[in-house]
């Protein structure tokens, strides 16, 4: 299964993608995690990406698309994968579909007031540089402008499945499993 996890920052994509990865034994590919690793390691990509990530802006698509093209050519993706945080704009979605079609896009729909509470909590626990109030606001604006149009894009391709993301982590997970078991 080639899956995409869609949703706003803090909607629970990472948590749910990790669970799906484990249950279906497919790699969890998070562009945010890969970028943060590169920033920490001080690679060329990390140096280029840092200022965008710190401000909560999107890293230029050509960098991210290249990164994903490379990652998705690895052997461990042969039986499927779950993408978390990519694509994040129509430009990226078009670039992806030019080299690979997806099976299911799961959109986690979470209210912004719940998201703000979760991100506040995460800021304390994980200490992520981009989980401060100003950057969070920008990330939600970027999501609304750049990423939200993907809901329509994948809906038109008839592969979008929406799941309510406001409840309990385990209930959300069971709803995603239902969607995926129906697909299979
Ligand atoms: P995330 O962990 O998914 O919230 O991503 C953290 C940050 O990494 C984002 O705010 C962006 O700066 C950057 N990033 C992650 N994925 C992408 C992407 N697909 N395109 C551009 N920038 C990205």
Q: What is the DSSP string of 49-99?
A: HHHHHHHTPPPPHHHHHHHHHHHTTSGGGTT-EEEES---SHHHHHHHHHH
Distance CA 120, CA 99 (A): 37
- Among candidates 57, 30, 56, 32, which has minimal Cα distance to 46? 32
Residue with token string 């430009």: 91
Q: Is-catalytic flag, 184?
A: no
Q: Using 50, 70 and 90 to split pLDDT, how confident is the model at 141?
A: very high
Q: Using 50, 70 and 90 to split pLDDT, how confident is the model at 84?
A: very high
Which pLDDT value is given to residue 129?
82
Query: Token digits for 64?
Result: 């991210």
Which pLDDT value is given to residue 128?
84
The answer on pLDDT for 66 being more than 90 is yes
Which pLDDT value is given to residue 127?
84
Q: Is the CB of 19 under 6 A from ligand 1?
A: no
Q: Is-catalytic flag, 55?
A: no
Q: Which of 2, 13, 36, 50 is catalytic?
A: 13
Over range 139-154, report the average pLDDT: 98
Whole-number average pLDDT of the chain = 96
Which pLDDT value is given to residue 83?
98
Over range 135-147, report the average pLDDT: 96
CA dihedral over 44, 30, 11, 158, signed as positive or negative: positive
Cis peptide preceding 87, ω within 30 of 0: yes
Q: Which of 2, 36, 139, 161 is catalytic?
A: 139
Report pLDDT digits (tens) over 126-137. Answer: 888 888 888 999
Helix (H) or strand (E) holding 177: helix 169-183
Distance CA 17, CA 11 (A): 11
Which pLDDT value is given to residue 47?
98
Which pLDDT value is given to residue 123?
87
Which pLDDT value is given to residue 18?
98
Which pLDDT value is given to residue 62?
96
Q: How many residues does the chain have?
A: 184
Which pLDDT value is given to residue 184?
84
Over range 144-158, report the average pLDDT: 98
Centre of ligand 1 from the C-alpha of residue 160, in Å: 21
Report pLDDT digits (tens) over 22-51. Answer: 999 999 999 999 999 999 999 999 999 999
């Amino acid at each position: 299964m080639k899956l995409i996890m869609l949703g706003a920052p803090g909607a629970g994509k990472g948590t749910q993608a990790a669970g799906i990865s484990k249950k279906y034994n497919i790699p969890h590919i998070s562009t945010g995690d890969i970028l943060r690793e590169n920033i920490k390691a001080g690679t060329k990509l990390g140096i280029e990406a840092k200022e965008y990530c710190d401000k909560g802006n999107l890293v230029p698509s050509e960098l991210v698309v290249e990164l994903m093209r490379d990652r998705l050519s690895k052997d461990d993706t042969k039986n499927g994968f779950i993408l978390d945080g990519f694509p994040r704009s129509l430009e990226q979605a078009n670039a992806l579909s030019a080299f690979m079609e997806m099976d299911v896009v799961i959109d986690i729909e979470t209210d912004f007031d719940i998201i703000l509470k979760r991100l506040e909590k995460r800021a304390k626990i994980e200490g992520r540089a981009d989980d401060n109030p100003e950057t969070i606001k920008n990330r939600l604006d970027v999501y609304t402008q750049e990423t939200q149009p993907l809901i329509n894009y994948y809906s038109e391709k008839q592969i979008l499945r929406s799941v309510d993301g406001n409840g309990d982590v385990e209930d959300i997970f069971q709803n995603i499993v239902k969607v995926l078991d129906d697909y299979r």
